[in-house]
Copies of this chain bind each other. A is one copy, B any other.
Amino acid sequence: MRCFLEIAYNGSHYHGWQRQANAHTVQEEIEQALSRMMGQPVDITGSGRTDTGVHAKQQVAHFDTDSSLALEQIQYKLNAMLPPDIAISACREVKSEAHARFDAQERGYHYYIHQKKDPFLDGQSYYFSQSLHVELMNIAAEKLLGRQDFESFSRVKTEVNNFICEIFTAKWFWENDQLVFNVRANRFLRGMVRALVGTLLEVGREKLTVEDFVSIIAAKDRTKAGRAVPPHGLYLSEVQYLEDIYC
């Protein structure tokens, strides 16, 4: 059977999601635990990568197994085997052709900012003490909506064929003392959310106008956008699938 794992992780101590030689990654940790549990090598396929230091509230990955263990047992054992900074929040059976990456309809990210020094948010939110005009940031964020070319916010070295993404949601909101950027799209380019947030902060600081922001999107030139914000404020927050993939 094929299973989807829903995974939360604190990315602080990992070189991102994706397995790679000579670097400690989240995928590798989970594959090692699953392989130990099943007594044979198990590969998992994630919905997408996250970069070094980026967190996930809900990453999704699939794997195949002919184990007779119940889904709850797999989840329970994995949580016991995995380190405290990786948690399996669900293990669900899906149709045999379901694919964590190709079947993802929508992905969501949250970027967290706090403006007052807080020892308990260190490593889990970006400390940015300069004052921000949040209303302007939201007017600019609205300009991101829809199907557009986001080359201006893509890392220069990248393997993609095109830079077209469809953004469904782009909104700043307050969650207690934290300012959060919620962005949802069919896909994201590498480094895109951190470049978007860095540029929107320039709007918030009134170093860029909303019109400047619109020109930056149109320029399709990464050198025009703002600096990327650090990874430790970024969370992959949700990956959505059609309901009919689940058994």
Query: Which A residues are within 8 Å of any B CB, using their own CB?
Result: 8-10, 55, 79, 84-88, 116-120, 122-124, 127
Contact = CB atoms under 8 A, between A and B. Distances in A.
Given A79-B117, A117-B79, A85 B122 contact: yes
Q: 10 nearest interchain CB pairs?
A: A10-B119, A87-B117, A84-B122, A85-B119, A79-B117, A9-B119, A87-B119, A8-B119, A85-B122, A10-B120
Given A86-B119, A87-B116, A88-B117, 5 more contacts: A8-B118, A10-B120, A55-B119, A79-B117, A85-B119
Nearest to A56: B119
A124 B9 CA distance: 15
Contacts of A119: 8-10, 55, 84-87
A8 B8 CA distance: 27
Nearest to A87: B117
Nearest to A84: B122
Contacts of A127: 84
Nearest to A82: B117
Nearest to A118: B87
Contact of A120 (B79, B118, B124): B124
Contacts of A123: 84
5 contacts: A8-B118, A84-B123, A85-B119, A87-B116, A87-B117
Q: Which of A9, A10, A55, A116 has the most CB of B within 10 A?
A: A10
A87 B115 CA distance: 13
Contacts of A124: 120
Contacts of A86: 119
A85 B123 CA distance: 10
A84 B114 CA distance: 12
A15 B8 CA distance: 30
Contacts of A85: 119, 122
Contacts of A88: 117
B120 A55 contact: yes
A76 B85 CA distance: 33
A86 to B, nearest CB: 6
